[in-house]
């Protein structure tokens, strides 16, 4: 099969589209023919080797963690699935090796959700990493309807799902974004402010939770209500300095099911910035790395599936 691969850590130039054996299916895994893959900042961080201290890489490594496609192979004990099922999954393992930017990927069934026909593979692939991280971050704060939340990085992939989930729970949200994304953040259900205005005096002691999904974690104590909490997905100081939560995605089919259902019922909107065919993977990664588009960058691996 064709797979995007890199054999040492580094920049975009380390990746090439090459041949690789189709993976075997483990006893509780399915083999997925890949339709669409959404890119995430961590794909770049892994390729650059920044994550080496907590994750081993086996070269040549295939990048990509999110996938939507069709089941073409079953393990010995995979009763939830049949060949031909449309599915979506997060394909993170204990080590970086067989990612999703390939024609086929093997994924443990505990990470795989079914996909109704009403949800496209391209929309679905935006959900696993960003959507589940947003859902689990929001849950961790345990906010009640009527609470106030500040979302730092509300226009990003994780931030925009979190804003929608919070607003749907009756939480009043203020979200930070750059000037170009202010109206977008408003459309998600939050009051938009510029990143640099997050600590404005009018927000003093206001927020029951501050979610850190973008930029550096600033000194948010002044805007936290008494008993307010801080949730971060990229800075452990949320835990060590603020006594809040440092969230690391714990992928599972149940949370992914919940997100797919919300998209199907139009309670949750996805945001795709650009879609590229597989052979334009370089332009796709460039768009992600240069942050040229808002919204997810998606690579369409198999035209006939999407």
CA angle 5, 11, 14 (to 5 degrees): 35
Of 176 and 229, which CB lies nearer to ligand NAP in the complex structure? 176
Which of 161, 140, 159 minimizes the C-alpha distance to 150? Answer: 159
With CB under 6 A as the contact rule, the residue among 5, 29, 40, 164 that binds ligand NAP is 40
Of 23 and 214, which CB lies nearer to ligand NAP in the complex structure? 214
Contact flag: residue 214 with ligand NAP (CB under 6 A): yes
Contact flag: residue 233 with ligand NAP (CB under 6 A): yes
DSSP character string of 17-66:
EEE-PPPPPPTTEEEEEEEEEE--HHHHHHHHTTTTTT-EEEEEEEP--E
Instruction: Identify the three-state secondary structure at position 108.
Output: strand
* Smallest distance from ligand NAP to CB 251, Å: 9
With CB under 6 A as the contact rule, the residue among 150, 177, 188, 224 that binds ligand NAP is 177
Of 55 and 74, which CB lies nearer to ligand NAP in the complex structure? 55
Contact flag: residue 181 with ligand NAP (CB under 6 A): yes
Contact flag: residue 158 with ligand NAP (CB under 6 A): yes
With CB under 6 A as the contact rule, the residue among 5, 113, 133, 164 that binds ligand NAP is 133
Handedness of CA 150, 153, 156, 158 (dihedral sign): negative
Total of residues contacting ligand NAP (CB under 6 A) = 26
Of 150 and 263, which CB lies nearer to ligand NAP in the complex structure? 150
With CB under 6 A as the contact rule, the residue among 65, 71, 92, 249 that binds ligand NAP is 249
DSSP 143: P
DSSP 249: -
Q: How distant is the alpha carbon of residue 299 from its chain centre? A: 14
Q: How distant is the alpha carbon of residue 97 from its chain centre? A: 19
Binding site for ligand NAP (CB under 6 A): 40-42, 129-130, 133, 152-153, 155-159, 176-178, 181, 195, 213-215, 233-234, 247-249
């Amino acid at each position: 099969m064709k797979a995007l691969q890199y054999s040492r850590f580094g920049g975009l130039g380390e990746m090439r589209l090459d041949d690789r054996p189709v993976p075997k299916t483990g006893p509780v895994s399915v083999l997925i023919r890949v339709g669409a893959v959404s890119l995430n900042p961590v794909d770049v961080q892994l390729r650059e080797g920044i994550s080496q201290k907590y994750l081993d890489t086996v070269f040549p490594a295939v990048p990509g963690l999110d996938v939507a496609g069709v089941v073409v192979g079953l393990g010995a004990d995979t009763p939830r699935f049949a060949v031909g099922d449309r599915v979506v999954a997060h394909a993170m393992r204990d080590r970086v090796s067989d990612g999703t930017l390939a024609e086929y990927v093997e994924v443990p069934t505990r990470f795989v959700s079914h996909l109704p026909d009403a949800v496209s593979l391209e929309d679905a692939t935006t959900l696993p990493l960003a959507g589940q991280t947003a859902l689990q971050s929001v849950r961790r704060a345990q906010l009640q309807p009527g609470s106030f939340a500040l979302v730092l990085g509300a226009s990003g992939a994780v931030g925009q799902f979190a804003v929608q989930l919070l607003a749907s729970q009756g939480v009043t949200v203020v979200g930070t974004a750059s000037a170009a994304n202010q109206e977008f953040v408003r459309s998600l259900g939050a009051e938009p402010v510029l990143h640099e205005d997050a600590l404005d005096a009018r927000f003093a002691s206001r927020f029951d939770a501050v979610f850190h999904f973008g930029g550096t974690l600033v000194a948010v104590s002044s805007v936290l209500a008494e008993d307010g909490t801080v949730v971060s997905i990229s800075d452990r100081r949320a835990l060590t300095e603020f006594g809040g939560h440092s969230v690391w995605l714990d992928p599972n089919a149940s949370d992914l099911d919940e997100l797919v259902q919300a998209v199907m019922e139009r309670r949750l909107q996805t945001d795709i910035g650009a879609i590229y065919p597989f052979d334009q993977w370089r332009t796709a990664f460039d768009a992600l790395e240069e942050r040229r588009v808002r919204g997810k960058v998606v690579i369409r691996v198999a035209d006939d599936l999407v």
